[in-house]
């Protein structure tokens, strides 16, 4: 099964920009970007960000406003502030080098168990399985016959044992691509999957495709607070550095009161600053 996955990946794996490096800082940046961003868009953003912040020290020295501007288009902007905080911790606590242990990595701001293990596997080739939702689904189905057959700790230990020696980085990327191309949540493409000949999920009779189940009506679009947060930050990004911006009117479907509430939330998240008159600007302080 390892050989089938790695051979398929060698011939068909996605040529994403961040896969061409094993530099620990570059890998950490790519994993933070990819947390809630499609792979192709994450690769484009990673190229731009790593050119601007080539080392943890470069990001640590940048102002929050500079980082938030650089993060434009990626959404979930708290990730940008957390990555900057992680860079500061790497500089102050680890001599500017990304740590190579799980315990040290998960203590960095914005770095959870999956991101820590992905950095260990991809950058340091350590024998650990990085289990995001898609990889967990592939491992659970192909090796165990189901996605929820073990508790989290036992599943992690078992998945660690499936990682090929000295191929942790390739294995991680390969399982990501198998999950994206074949082992999908709703309608898996089992017949084309490189794991099909040995897959326990397929051998045990997989559920019918999603398209054959009762269809659900699509939910109508609603302008959400996340949408409003993005519009507010984009207006501040467009202003000159350090300039206060008046945001007292409606934005989209959101009333002035809703805008004021979201301004307070963004200030609480340390993404912007508010002055006495209710004007806002991207955070400039430490």
Query: Would you name the residues annotated as active-site residues?
Result: 31
Q: Are 284 and 65 in contact (CB under 8 A)?
A: yes
- Helices 24-34 and 39-52 pack at an angle, to 10 degrees, of 140
User: Positive or negative CA dihedral for 89, 95, 96, 98?
Assistant: negative
Distance CA 171, CA 173 (A): 6
Residue bearing tokens 């484009």: 44
Q: Which of 8, 68, 38, 42 is nearest to 232 (CA)?
A: 68
Q: Which 8-state DSSP code applies to residue 281? A: E
């Amino acid at each position: 099964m390892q050989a089938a996955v790695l051979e398929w990946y060698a011939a068909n794996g996605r040529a994403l920009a961040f896969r061409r490096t094993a530099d620990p800082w570059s890998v950490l940046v790519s994993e933070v970007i990819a947390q809630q961003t499609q792979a192709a868009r994450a690769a484009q953003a990673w190229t731009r960000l790593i050119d601007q912040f080539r080392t943890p020290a470069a990001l640590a020295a940048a102002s929050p406003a500079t980082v938030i501007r650089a993060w434009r288009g990626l959404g979930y902007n708290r990730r940008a502030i957390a990555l900057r905080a992680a860079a500061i911790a790497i500089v102050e606590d680890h001599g500017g080098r990304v740590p190579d242990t799980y315990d040290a990595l998960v203590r960095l701001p914005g770095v959870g168990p999956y991101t820590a293990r992905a950095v260990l596997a991809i950058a340091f080739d350590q024998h650990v399985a990085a289990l995001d939702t898609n990889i967990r689904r592939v491992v659970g189905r192909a090796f165990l016959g189901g996605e929820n057959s073990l508790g989290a700790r036992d599943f992690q230990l078992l998945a660690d044992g499936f990682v090929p020696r000295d191929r942790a980085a390739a294995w991680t990327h390969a399982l990501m691509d198998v999950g994206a191309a074949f082992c999908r949540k709703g309608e898996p493409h089992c017949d084309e999957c490189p794991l099909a000949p040995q897959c326990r999920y397929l051998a045990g009779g997989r559920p019918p495709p999603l398209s054959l189940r009762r269809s659900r009506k699509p939910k109508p679009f609603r302008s959400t607070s996340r949408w409003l947060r993005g519009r507010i930050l984009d207006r501040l990004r467009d202003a000159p550095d350090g300039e206060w911006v008046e945001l007292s009117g409606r934005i989209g479907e959101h009333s002035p009161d809703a805008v004021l509430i979201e301004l307070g939330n963004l200030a609480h998240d340390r993404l912007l600053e508010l002055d006495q008159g209710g004007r806002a600007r991207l955070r400039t302080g430490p």
